[in-house]
Structure 1
Amino acid sequence: MGVVCAFSLNLSGQVRKNNLNTGTPPRCEAKEDAAEEPLDRTDTARWSDALWERIDRAYQLQRYDEALRWLDSLGLILSPWSEPNALLKYFAWKGDVHYRLGQISHALKAFRAALGVQTRDPRWELFSAYVGLGTIYGQFNYDEKALWSFQHADSVLIARGNSNGRSFLFINMAEIYMREGKYGKALCACYDAQLCLKKRYDDLVALLHVNMSCIYAKLGRYDLLKAHSDFALKYTEARGNELLRQEVYVKLAGAWHDAGNEEQAYALLQAEKALGIGLPTGDVYKLLLKIMSTHLESEGNHRMAAFALDAYMRYDDSIKSSLAQVDFADAALTDELLLMRDWQRRQMEQLEQRQRDDRCHYRKVSLQLVALLSLMVGVWLTMYMVRSRRLQAVVNVQEAADRLAVVNASVEHQQEQIREQREAVFQQRVALEQSKQMLQLTGKKFRNDLGYVLNLQRALLPSQERMQRILGEAFALYLPRDVVSGDFYSCHEVGDVKVFAVFDCAGHGIPGALMSFIGTILMRKVIREAQEIEPAGILTRLHELMKQYLRDERGSGVGFYTMDASIAVWHAKERRLVLSSACRTAYLYTEGVMHAYRGVIMSVGSKLVEREYVNDEVDVPTSAMLYLSTDGYADQMDDENRKYGSVRFINLLTDVAAFPMQEQKARLFREFESYRAKTIQTDDVCVLGIRLGGEEV
Structure 2
Amino acid sequence: NNIAAIYIGQGNYDKAREKYFESLKLKKEIGNKQQISIAYYNIAETYYNQGKYDLALENDLESLKLKEEIGDKQGIAASYNHIGDIYFKKGNYDKALENQFASLKLFEKIGAKYSAANTDISIANAYSGKLDYSNATKWFRQAMQLAKEIGSKPLLQDAYKGLSEVNEKMSDYHNAYNYHKLYTDLKDTLLNETSSKQIAEMNTKYDTEKKDKELIQKDAEISKQQAESEKQQIQRNAFIVGFGLVLLLAIFIFRGYRHKREANRMLEIKNEAINKQNEEIEKKNTLITDSIEYAKNIQSAILPSEEELKKHFQDYFILYKPKDIVSGDFYWIHEQEDNLLLAVADCTGHGVPGAFMSLMGHNLLREIVSSKNNSNPSEILDELNLKVLKTLKQDSKNTSAKYGMDIALISMDKKRNTIEFAGAHNPLYIYRNKECIQLKADSRSIGNSMDKEEKGFNKQFFQLQKGDMLYLFSDGYTAQKGGSENKKFFFKPFRELLQGICELEVIEQQHLLNATVLSWQGNKKQTDDILIVGIRA
Indicate if the aligned counterparts of 1:506 and 1:559 stay in contact, CA closer than 8 A.
no
Is 1:454 aligned to 2:296, yes or no?
Answer: yes
Secondary structure in 1 aligned to 2:478? Answer: coil
2:473 to 614, 625, 629: 629
Secondary structure in 1 aligned to 2:513? Answer: helix
Q: Distance in 1 between matches of 2:504 and 2:401?
A: 37
Indicate if the aligned counterparts of 2:403 and 2:447 stay in contact, CA closer than 8 A.
yes
Aligned to 1:662: 507
- Report the CA distance shift for 1:686/1:558 in structure 2 as closer, same or farther (over 3 A): farther
1:675 to 505, 514, 520: 520
- Report the CA distance shift for 1:407/1:653 in structure 2 as closer, same or farther (over 3 A): farther
Indicate if the aligned counterparts of 1:477 and 1:685 stay in contact, CA closer than 8 A.
yes
Aligned to 1:604: 446
Aligned to 1:517: 359
Return 5+ residue gaps in structure 1 as ranges. 1-398, 693-697
Indicate if the aligned counterparts of 2:434 and 2:500 stay in contact, CA closer than 8 A.
no
- Give the superposition deviation at 1:405: 5.7
Alignment map for 1:265-276 (pairs within 5 Å): none
- Report the CA distance shift for 1:612/1:672 in structure 2 as closer, same or farther (over 3 A): same
Is 1:690 aligned to 2:535, yes or no?
Answer: yes
Q: Deviations over 1:120-175 (max 9, x none)?
A: xxxxxxxxxxxxxxxxxxxxxxxxxxxxxxxxxxxxxxxxxxxxxxxxxxxxxxxx
Is 1:584 aligned to 2:426, yes or no?
Answer: yes
Aligned to 2:411: 569
Q: Deviations over 1:287-341 (max 9, x none)?
A: xxxxxxxxxxxxxxxxxxxxxxxxxxxxxxxxxxxxxxxxxxxxxxxxxxxxxxx
Structure with bigger gyration radius: 1
- Report the CA distance shift for 1:404/1:598 in structure 2 as closer, same or farther (over 3 A): farther
Secondary structure in 2 aligned to 1:491? Answer: strand
2:270 to 411, 427, 437: 427
Indicate if the aligned counterparts of 1:580 and 1:615 stay in contact, CA closer than 8 A.
yes
Indicate if the aligned counterparts of 1:470 and 1:491 stay in contact, CA closer than 8 A.
no
Aligned to 2:497: 652
- Give the superposition deviation at 1:519: 0.4
- Report the CA distance shift for 1:676/1:556 in structure 2 as closer, same or farther (over 3 A): farther
Is 1:465 aligned to 2:310, yes or no?
Answer: no
- Report the CA distance shift for 1:404/1:504 in structure 2 as closer, same or farther (over 3 A): farther
Identity across matched positions, percent: 27
Aligned to 2:174: none
Indicate if the aligned counterparts of 1:487 and 1:505 stay in contact, CA closer than 8 A.
yes
Aligned to 1:280: none
- Report the CA distance shift for 1:611/1:420 in structure 2 as closer, same or farther (over 3 A): farther
Aligned to 2:482: 638
Q: Deviations over 1:2-28 (max 9, x none)?
A: xxxxxxxxxxxxxxxxxxxxxxxxxxx
Alignment map for 1:31-70 (pairs within 5 Å): none
Q: Distance in 2 between matches of 1:404 and 1:633?
A: 81
Q: Distance in 2 between matches of 1:411 and 1:649?
A: 78
Q: Which amino acid aligns with 2:385?
A: H
Return 5+ residue gaps in structure 2 as ranges. 1-241
- Give the superposition deviation at 1:608: 6.1
- Report the CA distance shift for 1:584/1:662 in structure 2 as closer, same or farther (over 3 A): same
Q: Deviations over 1:506-554 (max 9, x none)?
A: 1111111011000001111122123441211111111111122221499
When normalised by structure 1's length, the TM-score is 0.40
Q: Distance in 2 between matches of 1:466 and 1:687?
A: 18
Q: Which amino acid aligns with 1:417?
A: K
Q: Deviations over 1:26-53 (max 9, x none)?
A: xxxxxxxxxxxxxxxxxxxxxxxxxxxx
Alignment map for 1:238-317 (pairs within 5 Å): none
Q: Distance in 1 between matches of 2:243 and 2:265?
A: 33
Indicate if the aligned counterparts of 1:627 and 1:690 stay in contact, CA closer than 8 A.
yes
Indicate if the aligned counterparts of 1:470 and 1:492 stay in contact, CA closer than 8 A.
no
Is 1:413 aligned to 2:231, yes or no?
Answer: no
Indicate if the aligned counterparts of 2:303 and 2:331 stay in contact, CA closer than 8 A.
yes
Q: Distance in 2 between matches of 1:676 and 1:426?
A: 47
Aligned to 2:92: none
Indicate if the aligned counterparts of 1:637 and 1:644 stay in contact, CA closer than 8 A.
yes
Q: Which amino acid aligns with 1:630?
A: S
- Report the CA distance shift for 1:402/1:558 in structure 2 as closer, same or farther (over 3 A): closer
* Relative contact order, higher structure (CA 8 A, sep 6+): 2
Aligned to 1:443: 285
Q: Distance in 2 between matches of 1:625 and 1:401?
A: 94
Q: Distance in 2 between matches of 1:487 and 1:459?
A: 14
- Give the superposition deviation at 1:426: 1.5
- Report the CA distance shift for 1:400/1:616 in structure 2 as closer, same or farther (over 3 A): closer
Q: Which amino acid aligns with 1:590?
A: R
Q: Distance in 2 between matches of 1:532 and 1:691?
A: 25
- Report the CA distance shift for 1:554/1:535 in structure 2 as closer, same or farther (over 3 A): closer
Aligned to 1:620: 464
Q: Deviations over 1:223-278 (max 9, x none)?
A: xxxxxxxxxxxxxxxxxxxxxxxxxxxxxxxxxxxxxxxxxxxxxxxxxxxxxxxx
- Report the CA distance shift for 1:582/1:400 in structure 2 as closer, same or farther (over 3 A): closer
Q: Distance in 2 between matches of 1:649 and 1:407?
A: 82
Secondary structure in 2 aligned to 1:633? Answer: helix
Q: Distance in 1 between matches of 2:244 and 2:318?
A: 88
Q: Distance in 2 between matches of 1:652 and 1:403?
A: 89
- Give the superposition deviation at 1:450: 1.3
Indicate if the aligned counterparts of 1:477 and 1:686 stay in contact, CA closer than 8 A.
yes
Indicate if the aligned counterparts of 2:374 and 2:380 stay in contact, CA closer than 8 A.
no
2:318 to 469, 476, 482: 476
Q: Distance in 2 between matches of 1:462 and 1:621?
A: 26
Q: Distance in 1 between matches of 2:313 and 2:349?
A: 28
Aligned to 1:303: none
Q: Distance in 2 between matches of 1:585 and 1:407?
A: 87
Q: Which amino acid aligns with 1:660?
A: E
Q: Distance in 1 between matches of 2:367 and 2:391?
A: 13
- Give the superposition deviation at 1:418: 3.5
- Report the CA distance shift for 1:625/1:403 in structure 2 as closer, same or farther (over 3 A): farther
- Report the CA distance shift for 1:403/1:615 in structure 2 as closer, same or farther (over 3 A): farther
When normalised by structure 2's length, the TM-score is 0.51
Q: Distance in 2 between matches of 1:473 and 1:660?
A: 8
Indicate if the aligned counterparts of 1:590 and 1:622 stay in contact, CA closer than 8 A.
no
Q: Which amino acid aligns with 1:636?
A: Q
- Give the superposition deviation at 1:447: 2.7
Q: Distance in 1 between matches of 2:250 and 2:481?
A: 64
Q: Deviations over 1:445-489 (max 9, x none)?
A: 323321221111000000111111123311111111110000000
Q: Distance in 1 between matches of 2:378 and 2:365?
A: 13
Q: Which amino acid aligns with 2:460?
A: D
Q: Deviations over 1:181-230 (max 9, x none)?
A: xxxxxxxxxxxxxxxxxxxxxxxxxxxxxxxxxxxxxxxxxxxxxxxxxx
Q: Distance in 1 between matches of 2:448 and 2:395?
A: 14
Q: Distance in 1 between matches of 2:290 and 2:455?
A: 42
Q: Distance in 1 between matches of 2:287 and 2:243?
A: 66
Q: Distance in 2 between matches of 1:403 and 1:580?
A: 95
